[in-house]
Structure 1
Amino acid sequence: MKQHTRPGRAWIITPGLRLSRFQAAQTSGAGVALVDLEDSVAMQDKQAARTAAQQFFDRPDAPCTLGVRMNAPTTLEGTKDLVALAAYASKPDLILVPKTESARDIELVASVLDAQGYTPDIWALIETPRAFDKLPSIMKAPRLGGVVFGSADYAATVHCGLAWEALLYARSALVNSATAAGIPAIDAPAFDLGDLDALRREAEQAKELGFYGKGAVHPRQAAVINETFAPSEEEIARARAIVAAGQRSGSGITSVGGQMVGTPFFTAAQALVREVDESARGADASETP
């Protein structure tokens, strides 16, 4: 299985022409801030957005991973994006590739942008029925860092609703394929800007399903996503108890808190404890003068 660096739980995207929003996105608390060259930019404004978006990356001290959602690489606008991105003085840490439908799309982006000292993290935006049909082959792309669910485009193509039940198959299929490939999956945003309770419920469902994080379309959403996806103290304590029980039982079946646990439970608990401990070590290292 591939091993990749996992960026933050909350991902926020901001239009490439809205320079006044750049700093708000970068300081929202999201682990990944993306500047958008695709859906939020009208066709006649694409070149202006490419020029403006350079300023998004002129911040070496940004508190998050900075990335870009380009246009689909098999389109003329996507080709122009790649040429522009390759010439940026300050380059994106992460490239989100929309309308990904084959491993070739990922490799095309890598072949243009990879250079000595620069190999951006490349993620696929999975948002078409054809992409879901091709998931096993897409996941084989060597440079694929992770996947993001594009619910709006998928629902529009399938002519289904955006409610959780309508998109449950797509979400489940994406998480399953991503997990099999050893890469993280990020859930689509919740588009109701004012209903943070609904966002929290949907984030909890996405976490339960196996998503690593969730998209945000407004800075106020980032904190809710971070809080929801972060392991609770109760979850951490239970995971440590399960790990300890597994050690005592020699990884044999035992019980914790009245529940039978065995190898699958030990594996999941060990992964959570390892993630929590590694995160704590990283925080300690960043605070060391």
Structure 2
Amino acid sequence: MPFQEINGGDVYYEILGDAGPLIVVTPGGRYSTDIPGVRPLAAALVAGGHRVLLWDRPNCGRSEVQFTGQSESHMRADTLHGLLTALDTGPVILAGGSGGARDTVLTQIRYPETATELVLWNIVGGNYGLLALASHYIIPNLTAVRMKGIEGLLELPEWQERIEQNPRNKDRLLAVGRDEFIRVMLRWLDAYVPKPGQTIPGITDDMFAGLVAPTLLVRGGKDDIDHPKRISLEMSCLIENSTLIEPPWPEDAWERGFEAGARGDGHPFDVWPMVAPAILDFVRR
């Protein structure tokens, strides 16, 4: 399997397709490239004449865990830039959904030479969205380490999965140490504290001023409290060279996918391949 060492940790990646401009697809959450919806989306983009780079971000899938940066998305933005530099790809097309949208736009803000176009969907924001992220990705980790030391992480399912997919992650987790891990989690937590002038987590609105790459934004569903409709509308105001489109999936796709995930017969990302035609049309134009 292809790995590249970036900023002190091995990052898993793969490139699909043989020719055409390169599109980087970044999923959300702490999900790997194998989460439902991602590979079918990549296959559709390859069929449309592109190469596609899929990667397991730090703390996802087969990649090694890392705990650096102002926020987890800052760390991943630095990692993606380092990966593309190491692979000598030149400018690419960056596409991402949910947390991957945040990682994507932050990569371009920090490294404006990275992409020729951006595509973003399922953009997280709003009080519920931010607090839900904090309660899912930060608070359980802090609680475990405060109660049982750094060894407490080994009892949490998400880190057990990281160790199962990459056994080196056990030693990497333990090596962080209790005090340093708590410092990092408290710093990462700040990104999820709702603040005036911060439409999406960890990125102040003024940071969008220098983002000039053409950007396609998929409007959020009207009842999606994780990725509110208004956040995508606000993003269209913040990104000057942006195009906002209606979602290609049903208005309630996220809610129904969330319910399917709870039943064990689906996932919210199942509909993501439906955005492929819009991506292909956007980059073609």
Computing the radius of gyration from Cα coordinates, the structure with the larger value is 1
Q: Same fold (TM over 0.5)?
A: no
Please, what TM-score do these two structures have when normalized by structure 2? 0.35
Structure possessing the higher relative contact order (Cα contacts under 8 Å, 6 or more residues apart): 2
Q: TM-score, normalised by structure 1?
A: 0.35
